[in-house]
Structure 1
Amino acid sequence: MALRRTTEEVVRLLTPEAFGWLMRDLREAAGMKIVQLARQIPCDSSLLSRYESAERQPKLTIVQQIDELLGTGGRLERAWHNTDWHREIEHPDWFKHFVKTEATAVSLREYQISRFPGLLQAPEYARALLARGPSRKDGPTLDQRVAARMSRQARFFLEDGPLAIFIIDEVVLRRMVGGRLVMIRQLKHTLDVIRRFPNIVVQIAPDELGERVAATMGFTLLELPNGTEVIYSESVDRGHFSRRPDAIERLSRAYDRLRADALSASESADLIRRTMEGLLNVSPELQPLPTAMSWFKSSYTGENGGQCVQTSHDLRPLGLMPIRDSKNPDGPALTFPTTSFSAFVNGVKSAGFDAI
């Protein structure tokens, strides 16, 4: 980790965006696509995209691997040490008080009825939400707003991070934000987070609770290091804090009751997984696909056309196998679950289908 520096030294440091631009330029200069680099590390190509867009800080070991694979002579590692990873990212004025409080909380309990909580959002999901929100010409860019939201997650995404309990209304799992692919990524991201970090608990409030839900709007209960509790909620254009003991007592009781009525953590994970699999099962309609994808066809095919198809490994981390006509690369592509496609290929190999 780069050491904390004085104000005079920080002036000479790179910004995380500049580091991301350098990483992308070195990769492109080496003639390597992001998917190819990810395979050699190995890691998810979406993770490298986050590094290049300054949404995530890469670990030094990853940077050293990239330097070696690109043959940069350690240039990227030197830039990593000279990047101001500690800079303070700007949040909207009305939100700053909450971010400051959240950054010191020893525990957090949140109930969400409209969207995945910010601390659980994948970058693509956050981008889709923020792109629809208000913005100012002289305010932060969309990339900066996404980076600000991602920056809040760091202290919670630790094995010994603060306890964070999220109760999410089931409708959030089905509310399409950013399209089918973004939702698949968000659901997979949520499953990855709860699998990796025992301090994060996610429970789903099922539809059948009906009028028994705790409240008609979302809220967050935060416990501070001195034992003080705070309630936070949002209206259309501002945030609301309350330290009133009676309000805290009322919402704490409502939250505990909702936890008892909600699905357990394991049942909730199963529901999230089934929802994601449901999106995968109907993924032949998944459009549009990411534009920067590496397509290939069988090495047994020639260059004279014929009945050929192309596929790509870019979506394999999501459990997807896209297929398109090699003669019409700009046409539509079908996307199938990798398990279904593997079963089909194995069936063809074993002559499990009748010849037509």
Structure 2
Amino acid sequence: MKRWGLVMSLAIISGLVLSACGQSKEVASLGAASITVKIGILKNVTHAPGFIALQNNYFQQAFGANAKIEVTSFDNGADFATAMATDQLDLGYVGPGPVINQYLKSKNIRVISGVNNGGAVLVARKDAGIRTVKDLVGKTVAVAAKGGTPDLSLRSLLQQEGLKVSTDASGVQIVTRAPADTLVAIRQKEVDATLIAEPWGTQIIQEGTGTILVDWNKIPPKNGNYPLTILVANDKFLKDHRDLAKKAVKANKQGIDFIQQNPDKSYELISSELKVLTGKGMEPALIKAAIDHLKLTQDITLADINEQAKISFDAGYLKVKAEELDFSKFLDTSLLDEVKKEK
């Protein structure tokens, strides 16, 4: 009897130990698998690969079922860049101009992939008497934000034409308006022209209030073949979750591929994501016109970054010495190179 009691006691103790071990492993497993990834994106169709990656759950599938994805949308790249630098975002889609400026201040943002080149047009108000770029002298031209990529393109275009930026009628006056506000400003004759990312330019044309002065494939630099949207990540996320950053590069590529292979299906998905971000979708025909005005590509070079940085520096946006314009560490294509090798 004593022996039987001893056996029963040992069995009970063993069961309790195994149960405790199992529970501790389960708790540890749940804790280790949980992560929140904060993604930022602008409300422009030029960010379409990101819209598709979100709508088709490419990010979710890549990061895993236990990852929580938080998406924050922005009206301009300056606010995005600030959020990225202050760890409010882990990664996301933005134009090069604002993050070039922010990088020189904080040094904690990296470009990890291209997204699309081109996609902005210069539109003149129909009754503003503007027939050529030189007619912009004494006129007011709107851009989404000072230092943004369209602003830099506009300044480069004016320089090519021998025109100066000024605050009076002796040159071209540049003002800032959010894209949606620019449409209203054109209608109400508050501005004379705008260099604006799609689909806003096409929308102005279709509603009959403006005409294209310079089409997307003639916008400098490189006649529209310049980065308008890029994928970036902050240093902390790259250090702590390099594997997830690599998966984000893959998800971006999936978004690009889907648009190229399934254009008609893409328009509806892009409209759906716009509705999520802004509360309002967009006509597929308008989205198609916008997509036709850009070149989807993951490729991006240091020369592309340097070119835009020089324009920004010449405009006085970059408050550094010329010799401090070093972006060799700002562009990190190591993850992109790995993804390409795995094809």
> Normalising by the residue count of structure 1, what TM-score does the alignment of the two structures yield?
0.27
Q: What TM-score, normalized to structure 2?
A: 0.28
Which structure's CA Rg is the greater one? 2
Q: Which has the higher helix share?
A: 2
